[in-house]
C-alpha cells in the first residue's frame, strides 16, 4: 500500500479542499436562507465527500503506521471535531443569520488551522 502513498495523499488533499469549498457554499446559502440548502443533493454530497476524506485519512494513517498517533495528528483530529461542531451551527443549528455567519467564519479558521497542522506536522506552527 505504501507504493500508493502519493495517490492517497493527493486524493485526501483534494477531498479536503472540496469539503471546504462545499462547506463555504452551504454556509453562504444558510446565512442567505436559500431554499437550495434543502435540496436532496445538497444534503448527500457533503457526506460523500467527507466519507472519502475520512477513509483516505485513515488509509494514510494505516499506511504510514501512525500508532500511537503523533501529536500533530491528534491536534488535527481534535480540531476536526471543533470544525464539525461549528459547521453544524453554521448550517443547521444557528438560530440567527449572524450566529450562522460567525460560526461559519470560525469553522473556516479552524479548517485553516487543520491545513497548517497537516502541512507543518506540528500543532504549534
Range of the domain at 69: 2-120
- The predicted model scores a pTM of 0.93
Residue 60 lies in a domain: yes
pLDDT tens per residue across span 10-69: 999 999 999 999 999 999 999 999 999 999 999 999 999 999 999 999 999 999 998 899
Report d(CA 24, CA 49) in Å as an integer.
Answer: 14
Does residue 62 lie in a domain region? Answer: yes
Structural domain includes residue 99:
yes
pLDDT tens-digit profile of 67-115?
899 999 999 999 999 999 999 999 999 999 999 999 999 999 999 999 9
Q: What is the rounded CA–CA span in Å between residue 67 and residue 51? A: 21
| Percent of the chain whose predicted confidence (pLDDT) is above 90 | 94
Task: With respect to residue 20, please indicate whether it lies within any of the assigned structural domains.
Answer: yes
Rg for the chain, CA atoms, rounded: 16
**102, part of any domain:** yes
Residue 125 resides in a domain: no
Q: What is the tally of structural domains in the chain?
A: 1
Amino acid at each position: 500500500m505504501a507504493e500508493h502513498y502519493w495517490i492517497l495523499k493527493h486524493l485526501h488533499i483534494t477531498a479536503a479542499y472540496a469539503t471546504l469549498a462545499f462547506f463555504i457554499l452551504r454556509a453562504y446559502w444558510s446565512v442567505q436562507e436559500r431554499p437550495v440548502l434543502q435540496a436532496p443533493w445538497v444534503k448527500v454530497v457533503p457526506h460523500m465527500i467527507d466519507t472519502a476524506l475520512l477513509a483516505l485519512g485513515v488509509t494514510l494513517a494505516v499506511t504510514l503506521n501512525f500508532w500511537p498517533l503523533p501529536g500533530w495528528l491528534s491536534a488535527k483530529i481534535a480540531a476536526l471535531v471543533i470544525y464539525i461542531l461549528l459547521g453544524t451551527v453554521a448550517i443547521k443549528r444557528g438560530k440567527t443569520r449572524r450566529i450562522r455567519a460567525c460560526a461559519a467564519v470560525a469553522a473556516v479558521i479552524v479548517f485553516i488551522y487543520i491545513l497548517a497542522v497537516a502541512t507543518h506536522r506540528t500543532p504549534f506552527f
